[in-house]
Amino acid sequence: MTKQIWTVKITKTGRPPVDFIRKVTVDLQRELQNEIFLSAEDTAQIMQSILMSSGYKLDKLANAIKAEFSNTEHGLIGGIGKIADLPKSDKGEDYWEAFNAGFKPGASGTYVPLGSFGGEAPDSNKSGGHWDVGAGNWTFLDTNQTKKPIPPLSYVDIGYETLARHISKAIDKFNKELEAAAK
């Protein structure tokens, strides 16, 4: 994804410049910034909804996705989901990108906690049993390489496209209002 920059060209005819500038800086700019803010809030909710309905336990990630804005001398700067604030896995790794792009989990290479399959020792001929932690004396190394792949959720891509579409519509509306105010 590349950084998206929108520009607005202002040409003036008709009304006195002071009235026009006041209209642009007070009314239309505030309205445009409000439209952008609302669009970002809606986009964050769409991204959260994708994560919450994925079937995976991603509530911490979904709750960390928020629209954030700051005014600078160059204009309104906004973003959704500050990467530094997104939760990490138990191993300290970022997982937001993996769920966006999809991945195939491999073996953890760690020992499963002590337990048993219904009081029985692990049997390589059995599969699909429920491992009762603390219910036995056995443990084994997770070497399972055939885990089900996690399909891409594409929530970042969908969010980006949604927000860009909303902002483009808001800019078009803003430009039409500028043209009307200039006459």
CA 8/CA 176 separation, integer angstroms? 11
* Global model pTM greater than 0.85: no
CA 164/CA 180 separation, integer angstroms? 24
92 lies in some domain = yes
59 with 110, same domain?
no
* pLDDT tens by residue, the chain, 183 residues: 566 666 666 666 666 667 766 666 677 777 878 888 899 999 999 999 999 999 999 999 999 999 988 877 766 677 898 888 999 887 788 889 989 999 888 777 777 677 766 656 656 666 666 667 665 565 667 777 767 888 999 999 999 999 999 888 888 887 887 777 666
29 with 66, same domain?
yes
154 lies in some domain = yes
**Measured between alpha carbons, how far is residue 156 from residues 23, 55, 57, 70, 142 in Å?**
36, 17, 17, 21, 31
131 lies in some domain = yes
87 with 55, same domain?
yes
34 with 123, same domain?
no
85 lies in some domain = yes
* Structural domain of 161: 17-103+150-182
80 with 132, same domain?
no
34 lies in some domain = yes
2 lies in some domain = no
157 with 141, same domain?
no
* SS3 per residue for the chain: CCCCCCCCCCCCCCCCHHHHHHHHHHHHHHHHHHHHHHHHHHHHHHHHHHHHCCCCCCHHHHHHCCEEEEEECCEEEEEECCHHHCCECCCCCECHHHHHHCECCCCCCCECCCEEECCECCCCCCCCCCEEECCCCECCECCCCCCCCECCCCHHHHHHHHHHHHHHHHHHHHHHHHHHHHC
31 with 73, same domain?
yes
86 with 172, same domain?
yes
